[in-house]
């Protein structure tokens, strides 16, 4: 705990020092903090929304995109890890798409979804989907593949069917991989949504908020407040998953 | 319940990649017998059990008229995410929905193997001996006609091992299940078995059989006990040197 406080204090001291010496042309930490607290509940006039509202907009996009990703990646990862033939079939197409950064999809995504009424929202959810899908898939697959062969053999000795082996042995073995896949997927999804929001008129969202604050005249305090909010939410999402992990993996 | 009344007959050989591991192992097992299979490490004892359990291909013939086979492994092979009770229920759960009666039975068996009060413990919270007891409980809950045991006590310390042997015999005397127990410990074999089948080193054959005619509980330090140990040892040595 003491080191945690020291860690944050170091950042603040360096920030103060850099600004006061004159190497960093930014407002001081306590000035940003004041703005941050003000914007937390009170709407910022240009967009007419406070930080909580922007956060909720971003979170809805991230949660929709990444939950669709998890819904597909988890079963696929388990099947790929369990059966080499499934892996052989899917892995090539996956390896073709995986190296393309989700952000590189942004222009194409806006074109693909242009025909829909809520095209911006859909494109953004799609970008998050891409960001969350691959890490979750790979992590799940790795753990499914690493299922203890001795346990599978034990199940076979008791005449377990393939379906039982999958349900009783392979899936439980994959759960740690699923959880870390969800954690990484949410993290990357959160990063991609902010970027995706910067590139379109989203109306709301933390990325959009930061971009607009920049465009209306470099309002640094607002920009840093938005960034702080992104960091805070990212941190909290991670903590929630870690908490869930501790609950779910009591046997470890 | 359909009992195991037939005599079991084994006559098998086995090769791995063209390399003969089991030349020809053949022996019979009578219902209710406790047969120990003894041999040096790497002589194919485990392979023999895996073949009987249907986990491995083989050449030859096994006459065995049951599918109810219980297996106790050398490493406990408990599912780490299941509690002791859930692990015992595993063989039931893969066949049907677990009912209240099954849970009661599992608790009864856990009590029988000395684990009353540990039903809710995860494998990592149990000692090696306790984990083997759970493994044993899991094998007997299906009421097997034949129980296959692959050096189940090999990784335990001497005192725990002797205690487990004594408890296993008490269990066996209760309902006289047919047991095939693989071990490299001559002492263990003489203590447990009604009959010992001695295997030669690879490629393995049956070196000989020794019927153990000692009253129970057996005294490991008695001269008769040691006489039997000598007999088994001679069979093992003879074939190793030739």
pTM of the predicted model as reported, rounded to 2 decimal places: 0.87
Nearest CB to B122 within list A150, A159, A251 = A251
Residue B64 lies in a domain: no
* B211 and B132 co-located in one domain: no
User: What was the pLDDT predicted at B7?
Assistant: 75
Contact residues, chain A, for B90 at CB < 8 Å: 155, 158, 168
* pLDDT for residue B6: 67
Question: Which chain B residues contact residue A161 at CB under 8 A?
Answer: 94
Same-domain check for residues B202 and B128 = no
Residue B108 lies in a domain: yes
**CA nearest to A181, candidates A115, A244, A101:** A244
The mean pLDDT of chain B is: 91
Q: Are residues B45 and B161 in the same domain?
A: yes
What pLDDT score was predicted for residue B240?
A: 54
Cβ–Cβ below 8 Å for B77 and A151? yes
Annotated domain spans of chain A: 43-248
| Whether A252 and B124 lie within 8 Å, measured CB to CB | yes
Using CA coordinates, name the residue in chain B closest to A148.
B77
Look at residue B42 in the predicted model and tell me its pLDDT: 80
Residues 6+ apart with CB under 8 A from B205: B23, B24, B25, B199
Which of B69, B81, B93 lies closest to A172 in CB terms?
B81
Rounded to a whole number, what is the distance in Å from the CA of A68 to chain B's nearest CA?
27
CB burial readout A125-149, b (16+ within 10 A) else e: bbbbbbbbbbbbbbbbbbbbbebee
pLDDT at B208 over 50: yes
Closest C-alpha to A63, from A224, A209, A195, A182? A182
**Distance in angstroms (rounded) separating the CA atoms of residues B83 and B206:** 40
Q: Which fold would CATH assign to domain A43-248?
A: MetI-like fold (1.10.3720)
CA A131, CA A66: separation in Å to the nearest integer?
A: 8
Angstrom distance (rounded) from CA A14 to CA B181: 70
Identify the domain boundary among B112, B142, B172: B142
Do the Cβ atoms of B90 and A150 come within 8 Å? no
Give the helix ranges, DSSP H, for chain B. 45-52, 84-93, 100-112, 128-140, 158-175, 186-192, 223-241
pLDDT exceeds 50 at position B112: yes
Among B83, B107, B142, the domain-final residue is B142
B2 and B82 together in one domain: no
pLDDT band for position B2 (cuts 50, 70, 90):
very low
Whether residue B6 is contained in a domain is answered as: yes
Chain A residues lying within 8 Å of B79, measured CB to CB: 151, 168-169, 172
B183 occurs within a structural domain: yes
Return d(Cα A122, Cα A196) in angstroms, integer.
11
What pLDDT is attached to residue B1? Answer: 39
Quote the DSSP letter at residue B98.
-
Q: How many domains does chain B have?
A: 2
Q: Which of B117, B142, B167 delimits the end of a domain?
A: B142
Q: Which of B55, B71, B94 sits opposite A168 (nearest CB)?
A: B94
Which range of residues forms the domain containing residue B111? 69-142
Which residues 6+ apart lie within 8 Å of B185 measured at CB? B38, B154
Sign of CA dihedral A158, A163, A164, A167: positive
Within a domain: residue B44? yes
Full pLDDT tens readout for chain A, 252 residues = 889 999 999 999 999 999 999 999 999 999 999 999 999 999 999 999 999 999 999 999 999 999 999 999 999 999 999 999 999 999 999 999 999 999 899 889 989 999 998 889 999 999 999 999 999 999 999 999 999 999 999 999 999 999 999 999 999 999 999 999 999 999 999 999 988 898 877 789 999 999 999 999 989 999 999 999 999 999 999 999 999 999 988 888
Task: Note which residues in 73-112 of chain B have CB less than 8 A from chain A.
Answer: 73, 75, 77, 79-82, 90-91, 93-95
Examine the domain organization and report whether B12 and B115 are in the same domain. no
Residues B81, B126 within the same domain: yes
Nearest to B80 among A160, A161, A251 (CB): A251
Residue B4 has pLDDT above 70, yes or no: no
B59 close to B7: Cβ distance less than 8 angstroms: no
Cα A236 from Cα A234, distance rounded (Å): 6
A160 — contact with chain B (CB < 8 Å)? yes
State the CB neighbour count (10 A cutoff) for residue B122: 18
Mean pLDDT, rounded, for B202-215: 92
Per-residue pLDDT tens over the stretch B6-23: 678 889 999 888 888 898
B139 CA: distance to closest CA in chain A (Å): 8
Identify whether residues B169 and B152 lie together within a single domain: yes
């Amino acid at each position: 705990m003491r080191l945690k406080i020291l860690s944050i204090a170091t950042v603040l001291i360096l920030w103060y020092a850099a600004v006061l010496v004159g190497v960093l042309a930014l407002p001081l930490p306590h000035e940003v903090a004041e703005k941050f607290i003000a914007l937390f509940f009170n709407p910022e006039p240009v967009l007419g929304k406070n930080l909580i509202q922007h956060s909720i907009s971003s979170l809805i996009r991230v949660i929709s995109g990444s939950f669709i990703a998890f819904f597909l990646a988890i079963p696929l990862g388990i099947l790929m890890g369990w059966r080499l033939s499934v892996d052989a079939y899917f892995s090539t197409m996956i390896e073709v798409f995986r190296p393309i950064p989700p952000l590189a999809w942004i222009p194409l995504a806006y074109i693909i979804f242009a025909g829909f009424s809520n095209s911006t929202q859909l494109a953004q959810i799609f970008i998050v989907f891409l960001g969350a899908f691959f890490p979750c898939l790979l992590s799940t697959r790795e753990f499914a593949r690493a299922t203890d062969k001795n346990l599978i053999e034990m199940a076979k000795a008791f005449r377990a069917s393939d379906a039982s082996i999958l349900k009783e042995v392979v899936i439980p073995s994959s759960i740690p991989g699923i959880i870390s896949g969800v954690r990484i997927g949410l993290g990357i999804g959160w990063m991609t949504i902010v970027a995706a929001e910067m590139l379109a008129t989203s109306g709301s969202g933390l990325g959009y908020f930061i971009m607009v604050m920049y465009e209306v005249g470099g309002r640094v305090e607002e920009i840093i407040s938005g960034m702080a909010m992104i960091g805070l939410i990212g941190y909290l999402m991670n903590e929630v998953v870690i908490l869930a992990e501790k609950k779910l993996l009591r046997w470890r | 319940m359909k009992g195991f009344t037939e005599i079991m007959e084994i006559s098998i050989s086995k090769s791995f990649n063209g390399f003969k591991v089991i030349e020809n192992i053949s022996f019979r097992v009578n219902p209710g017998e406790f047969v120990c299979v003894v041999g040096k490490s790497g002589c194919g004892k485990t392979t023999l059990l895996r073949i009987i359990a249907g986990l491995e291909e083989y050449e030859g013939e096994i006459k065995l008229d049951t599918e109810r086979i219980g297996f106790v492994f050398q490493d406990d092979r408990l599912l780490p995410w299941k509690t002791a009770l859930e692990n015992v229920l595993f063989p039931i759960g893969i066949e049907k929905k677990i009912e209240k009666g099954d849970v009661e039975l599992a608790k009864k068996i856990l009590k029988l193997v000395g684990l009353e009060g540990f039903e809710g413990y995860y494998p990592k919270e149990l000692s090696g001996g306790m984990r083997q007891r759970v493994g044993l409980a899991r094998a007997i809950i299906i009421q097997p006609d034949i129980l296959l045991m692959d050096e189940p006590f090999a990784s335990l310390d001497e005192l725990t091992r002797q205690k487990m042997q004594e408890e296993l015999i008490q269990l066996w005397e209760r309902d006289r299940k047919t047991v095939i127990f693989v071990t490299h410990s001559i002492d263990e074999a003489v203590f447990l078995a009604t009959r010992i089948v001695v295997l030669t080193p690879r490629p393995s054959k049956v070196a000989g059989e020794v019927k153990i005619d000692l009253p129970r509980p057996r005294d490991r330090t008695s001269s008769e006990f040691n006489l039997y140990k000598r007999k088994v040892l001679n069979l093992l040595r003879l074939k190793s040197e030739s």
